[in-house]
Chain A
Amino acid sequence: MIDESRRVSMDIHYEISQHYFKEATYLQNWKLREWLSEMVDEEILYWMPIEENRLVKDRRPEPTPDDAAVYNDRYKHLKQRVEQIYTGQVWVEDPRSKIRYYVSNIEAFHTDVENEFAIRCNVLVLRHRRDTQIYQHSFLKEDLLRKTKAGFKVVRRKLTIDARSVQDKNLFFFM
């Protein structure tokens, strides 16, 4: 739960934004092992729920991590995904596709735990594959970020993808 009145100072905001830009650089340069070990906490819950199109009057609760989700991964699952890429046998990523992340609207808030921050930002991803394939995805990223001696690490990540029906071959990339 974000306490909107507890926005971080300019200094902390600068530090956090730099962290997200660095994360984007890691991901788009296929530095996935570095990303995982330096920026992801071993307690991670990495979650992308499925949001149905529902009528406004529909009273059913919002999805929780108990429900169907595109991603519902812990650290070991993310590690399996990363290692799969490096087996040299993932034909779809050979030659490698190009991926670019546009991170914006970064908002950061203090939480009740010192050194833990609640973050909200928008991300636009452009993937270019093979000769002419272009895919784009727009999503909201909501993180619980912990500041450690080794830098910021994400403890909980919720990714809300705006498309109900995803227009891409897969969503097997890191966000």
Chain B
Amino acid sequence: MSDKDVAFISGAVRMYRERRGWYRSVCNVFMVGEKSRMEMRVMINVKELVDLENATQAKKIFWDQDIYDQEQERIFGRSWLFLTHDSLIPKNGDFVMSRMGEDKVIVSRQKDGSVEAFINSCSHRGNQVCHADSGNAKAFTCNYHGWVFGQNGDLVDVPLDTLCYHDNLKKAELGLRKVRVESYKGLIFGNMDPDAISLEEYLGDMCWFLDTILVGAGGGMELMGPPLRSVLDCNWKVPAENFVGDGYHVGWTHAAALQILGGPLAGLAGNRADMPYDDLGKQFTTRHGHGFGAINDAVTSIHPENEEYADFMAETRGVVAENLGTPREELYMSHWNCTIFPNCSFLYGTNTFKIWHPIGPGKIEVWTYTLVHKDLDIDVKRSIQRQAIRTFGTAGTLESDDGENMSTCTDSNRGFVTRKGRMNSTMGINREGRHPDFPGIVGASFIGETSYRGFYRFWAEIMDAPDWEAIKVQNDNWDEIWRGSEFWSDK
């Protein structure tokens, strides 16, 4: 072989090596030709993205378009997504707009008290049929050609039905695309996948935890709207993971706000060395990635001047102890930062409730409601709402610190070399496991990353699973990585 030939061959080999991933993806596209068009995209190696053993994630999960597309299909297309709360659509005909991933949906209260949800896109030429945030309507009329849909999404009237369609239109088949709706103690969720497990199974052990507040001393909780809305340039997982388990950032990111706020949380400001971090609270994670961190005895700390709220909590805790037992009474009196997988987060005690609606890999719309105990006096609810928004609304004294971190965590992973790197979530890694008093996996301190690890464990599982059957068969060994832990056995 001449030098020229060698150069040619090695050039070809190099080119093949460089483009290997691309050739493979093309092969994949052809090989799945029989499958639905949704499947026709680059296959993602999820195992490489989430390393469970070492608790690291690839930086590109916050940035990559292919990963995002797979999330839309496999997470937002199959998970139970928060739509609204009973308290926001109390009467027949009440409706609110919501989103499921990037799909816009209408959620509407029916005559018989049930709730229906359907996609906000006309079955004629696809126009959006409703542009109001909320209201009361017995019908939705499309602006384009005037098709009329009933409050349950059925097509009920078509202009020129006889004169121009000559009664040929199959109206019964042309209703708005329905969404599965189920609710848990007032929280209404929707699911796009007819094969998904029920909402209650999906929440799983989280129901036991949620009952602490959704049953509480009897009345449970409700949401106050309308939501604040704002667009933030960040990946949806950054705030979701922050709420699921980031007790760590509180003392640093929010140092200034906590210092000014005063009260018990001020002790966290600046990560002081003299705080008993292991005794401040715990973290929890469950089967489907839902999790939270709890700070002991901190339920009303963000409301240092609201005596009525503190009194209400003190008066009702006894009933909770009696009905639900001491472990949940303690949780009832704790402050929670929680995410219900994938994108529904709340702070119990601070009373803020947020949905992170994805709009592409680097953008979300944040919807912020106020979460309050139903049995409180209306004036107390209003003062809680003012303080919740003052701290965690769009102009919130704490929230304003977070937005910057969220978008920088996304944007800074864009760099070609940067995005090949990995992120670390190892805090408290050997200090967690099964606990005699609680379901799920329990981490030793609320300043830890147990619920991060649980969140990404399920993220990887659902991203990899072709269908819900493949997830169900893992029900008995999802907690494998924590199996060997004896952490709580001698405590």
- Listed in ascending order, the chain A residues whose CB lies under 8 Å from chain B are 48, 50, 52-55, 58, 66, 68-73, 77, 80-81, 83-84, 87-92, 164-172
Across the interface, do A70 and B395 meet the contact criterion of CB distance under 8 Å? Answer: yes
A20 to B139, CA, bound (A): 48
State the Cβ distance, A22 to closest chain B Cβ, in Å.
24
- Residues 223 to 273 of chain B near chain A (Cβ within 8 Å): 224-226, 228-233, 253, 255-257, 259-261, 270
Asked if B17 is an interface residue, CB under 8 A from chain A, the answer is: no
Across the interface, do B389 and A72 meet the contact criterion of CB distance under 8 Å? Answer: yes
A contact patch SS: loop
Across the interface, do B226 and A52 meet the contact criterion of CB distance under 8 Å? Answer: yes
Asked if B296 is an interface residue, CB under 8 A from chain A, the answer is: no
**Best-surrounded residue of A68, A81, A83, A167 (most CB of chain B within 10 A):** A68
- For the A-B complex, the count of residue pairs with Cβ-Cβ distances under 8 Å equals 104
- Listed in ascending order, the chain B residues whose CB lies under 8 Å from chain A are 131-137, 224-226, 228-233, 253, 255-257, 259-261, 270, 365, 370, 382, 385-386, 389-390, 393-397, 399-401, 403-404, 407
| Interchain Cβ contacts under 8 Å between A and B, 7 examples | A54-B133, A68-B385, A80-B261, A84-B397, A169-B400, A172-B395, A172-B396
State the Cβ distance, A60 to closest chain B Cβ, in Å.
8
Contact residues in A for B394 (Cβ distance below 8 Å):
70, 166, 170-171
A80 to B400, CA, bound (A): 14
CB-CB nearest in chain B for A166: B230
A48 to B261, CA, bound (A): 22
Contact residues in A for B403 (Cβ distance below 8 Å):
92, 169-170
Across the interface, do B229 and A166 meet the contact criterion of CB distance under 8 Å? Answer: yes
A80 to B259, CA, bound (A): 10
Supposing A166-B230, A168-B230 touch, asked if A89 and B135 sit within 8 A by C-beta, the answer is no
A140 to B255, CA, bound (A): 33
Across the interface, do A170 and B226 meet the contact criterion of CB distance under 8 Å? Answer: no
**Best-surrounded residue of B133, B253, B365 (most CB of chain A within 10 A):** B133
Contact residues in A for B135 (Cβ distance below 8 Å):
54-55, 58
Contact residues in A for B260 (Cβ distance below 8 Å):
80, 83-84, 87
Across the interface, do B230 and A92 meet the contact criterion of CB distance under 8 Å? Answer: no
State the Cβ distance, B486 to closest chain A Cβ, in Å.
40
A119 to B371, CA, bound (A): 36
Question: Which of A53, A54, A89, A167 touches B230 (beta carbons < 8 Å)?
Answer: A167
CB-CB nearest in chain B for A69: B389
Supposing A91-B404, A169-B407 touch, asked if A53 and B256 sit within 8 A by C-beta, the answer is no
CB-CB nearest in chain A for B230: A166
State the Cβ distance, B400 to closest chain A Cβ, in Å.
4
